[in-house]
Amino acid sequence: MTPQPEVTGFFDPRTWSIQYVVADPATKMCAIVDPVYDFDEKSGQTASINADRILAFVRERGYTVEWILDTHPHADHFSAAPYLKEKTGAPTAIGERVKDVQALWKGFYNWPDFPADGSQWDRLFTEGDRFKVGDIEARVMFSPGHTLASITYVVGDAAFVHDTLFMPDSGTARADFPGGSARVLWDSIQAILALPDETRLFTGHDYQPDGREPMWESTVAEQKAGNIHMVRCTTQEAFVAVREARDRSLAMPKLILQSLQINTNGGRLPVPESNGVRYLKIPLDLLKGAVWD
């Protein structure tokens, strides 16, 4: 039988993000997936509320953190990976194609000296790479489309599918960010849906359609039977048409320009300037043509 890790989700209502602790119950070793570092764009304040909640849970369960994993450079929240590494000593990891995202945004932010080499993380995973959470085998699937660098972590019978598939009543993730592609996203989703039907799928966001309670776990079988985009779109061409039409109607995430300045640098906040204050650098008119809220 495929090992079944313990998976606990932590929903952040401010960003609609789900963070995960995935643990081997036998060894008490765990990985933290897609942790959020809090940022209030109105006041400019940062905080570690979400990350501290995860750390408290880890202590309560008696877990040891073995990995801090990001699935991609997020466009809607800051990554808490460096904060959690400081607190736990665990290594950070992301997909190796993050270097492509860094190269793209390095130009957008006019950072000529920025090291777009992935050195901000301890491990860069490629397609098919294997590692362990405790004694549970884990592997990496390259799942681009939402971003150039997106990966899926398959840990035992659990797959962390980030911004590819949402819950069946919400469909699929957008693919219109710089470097995104609906056509490529279709291929990534097909690979995920080729996993065994009983595979548990854990998504990166839930936008609570019709005001329902947050949800984040489904199975491959449930997605194939009921995902509102995938049951409607039986060909790549149909999916691309539906996804691109939907994306044209969406405003950009409110934190995309702030988040990618942080997350392309491994979640590190800007270095304080001579007055001790950190500053964000926001390019104006970069995302021309995007829908306004």
The answer, yes or no, to whether residue 293 has pLDDT greater than 90, is no
Q: What is the pTM of this model?
A: 0.97
CATH class in words for 6-254: alpha beta
34 residue type, one letter: D
Helices (H), 219-271: 220-226, 236-248, 256-263
Other CB atoms within a 10 A radius of the CB of residue 197 amount to 12
Chain-centroid distance of CA 273 in Å reads 30
175-198 pLDDT, tens digit per residue, is 999 999 999 999 999 999 999 999
pLDDT in the model for residue 32: 99
CB-count exposure of residue 7 (10 Å: 0-12, 13-18, 19+): buried
* pLDDT of 291 above 90: yes
Mean pLDDT within 56-62: 98
**pLDDT tens digits for 67-98?**
999 999 999 999 999 999 999 999 999 999 99
pLDDT number for residue 274: 98
Per-residue model confidence (pLDDT) at position 157: 98
- Ranges of each domain in the chain: 6-254
Length reported for the chain:
293
